Amino acid sequence: MAQNNSSRVTEFILLGLSDTRELQLLFFTFFLLAYATVLLGNLLIIVTVRTDPKLSSPMYFLLCNLSFIDICYTSVTAPRVLVALLSGHKAIAFVGCMAQLFFLHFVGSSEMFLLTVMAFDRCMAICRPLHYTAIMARRACWVLVAACWAGGFIHSIVQTVLMLQLPFCGPNAIHNYFCDVPPIVRLACADTALTEWLMASNSGLISLGCFLVLVASYALILAKVRARVSQGNWKALSTCASHVMAVTLLFMPCIFTYLRPAGTLPPSKYVCVIYTIFSPMMNPLIYSLRSSELKESMWRLWKR
């Protein structure tokens, strides 16, 4: 094959989740329903928040941004998976693979940062209610969201640059349904020990760091609620419970996948389904069902 970015590999083969046709049809149905749920659920949240003036609080502003990120995040992998399962075409160009890796980490890490900001928002609402509107003013919310996107871009650039430095001259079969760091590093024709540790430090430490900040925020919220029980505080705690569920679905599989060098344990492509498909699918269900204000606004929008 022709030379391409210091590599003789010009395309990769995504082996997918299964070679059995019956299972491929089952996976196609699941991915199609999950992707439709992500699109419709998150679009409904965005339209509801944007059209209802009552949902102007920072929490719903951040939720609207989370819905947009979930749509982008799932769209990086799901459409190509659906086409591959339906047509059987598993090849992806080298450039396309690197682009998919870049956008996956760009949007995925931005979502992690945004979930951390959402936990900070709930922490300020409960722990410092008198100063909440000043701390989480609309301009501050825009700055925090922009910082989330900027942090995701920097993280993804580092990952992609490290990947482009590796030579690929032999096998080109990726044991996954999308291009990601762990399975691709295994195909490099060089000693990748240092690169693996750098990538694990980048992705893994971001996942672990954000998760620890989230745990600390929720622990502080729980301590405040127990010390000062009221109906409003319990309502805020109920909102945080939905955040905990969404955070667990995203962060735990990512920590398991990225907080280790690629060669220590074989990557699990079924674990990847949790944070690329299942977590974005559950987010609109979790947030809409746990928020009475959002459900009422959706009902008013439906009647209109």
Domain-located, residue 303: no
Residues 202-223: tens digit of each pLDDT: 888 888 889 999 888 888 887 7
pTM of the predicted model as reported, rounded to 2 decimal places = 0.88
Do residues 271 and 256 make contact, with C-beta atoms less than 8 angstroms apart?
Answer: yes
Specify if 4 maps to a domain. Answer: no
Q: In angstroms, rounded to a whole number, what is the distance separating the alpha carbons of residues 169 and 51?
A: 53
pLDDT at 105: 94
- Is 5 part of any domain? no
Domain with 204 in it: 11-298
Average pLDDT, the chain: 84
Residue 181 tokens, joined: 């760091």
- Is 214 a member of any domain? yes
Q: Is residue 132 part of a domain?
A: yes
Q: What pLDDT does residue 262 have? A: 58
Per-residue pLDDT at 7: 47
pLDDT at 227: 60
Residue 264 lies in a domain: yes
1 domain residue, yes or no: no
What integer pLDDT is reported at residue 4 of this predicted model?
44
**What pLDDT shows up at residue 264?**
53
11-14 and 173-174: which strand pairing?
parallel
- CATH number for the domain harbouring residue 107: 1.20.1070.10
Close Cβ partners of 280 (under 8 Å, ≥ 6 residues apart): 38, 42, 70, 71, 73, 74
| DSSP per-residue codes, 286-303 | HHHHH-HHHHHHHHHHHH
What gap in Å lies between CA 241 and CA 287, rounded to an integer? Answer: 10
- Residues in the chain predicted with pLDDT less than 50, given as ranges, are 1-7
Task: Give the amino acid at 196.
Answer: E
Number of structural domains the chain divides into: 1
- Do 42 and 284 meet the contact criterion of CB atoms below 8 Å apart? yes
In 3D, which of 19, 29, 41 has the Cα closest to residue 286? 41
Neighbours of 240 (CB within 10 A): 23
Contact 43, 71 (CB under 8 A): yes
Give the 3-state secondary structure of residue 81.
helix
